Amino acid sequence: MPIHPLAGKPAPKEMLVDLARLEREYHQRKSDMADPSQRVQFGTSGHRGTSLNGSFNEAHILAITQAICEYRHSQKFDGPLFMGKDTHALSGPAQRTALEVLAANGVHTVIQRDDGFTPTPVISHAILTYNRGRKDHFADGVVVTPSHNPPEDGGFKYNPPNGGPADTDATKWIQDCANVLLNEKNAGVKRLPFVTALKTMTTRQEDFVIPYVNDLRNVIDMDAIRDAGLKLGVDPLGGASVSYWGPITDIYGLNLTVVNPNVDPTFAFMPVDHDGKIRMDCSSPYAMANLVKLKDQFRVAFGNDPDADRHGIVTPDGG
């Protein structure tokens, strides 16, 4: 495949997504169930698409969330559901929609306080921490993210009590149930207004950041990293990890610089990827071009995709 002429270069203004249109289409566009691309289709534990072509909209999230509630009931998962979102423009609206359904179904839901962003590994950590030593009343989770997909995309992933991606048995169950609900125009979906859902006894807002950061010392030798005196650089690529690197630096005394702290749902600061699209792919040298340019300033530099379950590494001799 030929490399696009803009690959590795700043995205021109005309390439940036129209955020107002994106959210308007999310709420107003209806799914055409005769079009297979507009049905719920689970890939790696979740559904992805864009409101601009009807493959990711409010109706999808209503149906998927109701299906998850019914799946939890079938599996007797009645612990809390931990839910996080990344920085894509559709992630906020989708999380709000999901909370409306979860609250209406009486699901105890925990979200990051102050409308913050949450990486996928943090939701996995919360699930595993809660379930440790339990024999029943298991927790599970949802991450609202399309991973490294372009800015116009949305995604909705389900994580069962093992904390990892849902297996194909679970995703097929949820997918099929959601499509039945969509075919019935979501008549079977329970829903509360968002303001009411946020205030219900079953919704809790907590801080995911500090418990996760504090627990890192139990799996990583942070003292060795600090004592080595490595000069570290991080580019969160505008993603959900942006609020985690500061506490990691402060708590563990690292020599670490966040080279790009910006959060912009158009991802206007991203270099264009190999195919001419904006894509926060930390495995792509084109998307990582800004960090590669700084490779001689750090012993090791990292890039994260928007939900921080992918990591690209840049070194002076391996940029």
Q: Which of 31, 55, 91, 147 is catalytic?
A: 147
Kindly provide the residue ranges of all beta strands, DSSP E only, lying in 86-149, ordered along the sequence.
109-112, 140-144
| 319 domain residue, yes or no | no
| Domains: count for the chain | 2
**CATH number for the domain including 199?**
3.40.120.10
Give yes or no: residues 193 and 234 share one domain. Answer: no
Per-residue pLDDT for 231 more than 90?
Answer: yes
Give yes or no: residues 55 and 158 share one domain. Answer: yes
Give yes or no: residues 172 and 79 share one domain. Answer: yes
Give per-residue pLDDT as tens, 54-98: 999 999 999 999 999 999 999 999 999 999 999 999 999 999 999
Q: Which domain holds residue 70?
A: 13-210
3-class DSSP assignment, residue 233? strand
Give yes or no: residues 97 and 224 share one domain. Answer: no
End-to-end CA distance of the chain: 23
Q: How many CA atoms lie within 13 A of 249 on its CB side?
A: 15
Catalytic status, residue 31: no
Residue 44: which pLDDT band, with cuts at 50, 70 and 90?
A: confident
| 307 domain residue, yes or no | yes
| 61 domain residue, yes or no | yes
- Domain limit, last residue, from 160, 180, 210: 210
Give yes or no: residues 56 and 190 share one domain. Answer: yes
Give yes or no: residues 266 and 169 share one domain. Answer: no
Share the mean pLDDT of the chain.
Answer: 96
Give per-residue pLDDT as tens, 169-185: 999 999 999 999 999 99
Return the pLDDT at 319: 61
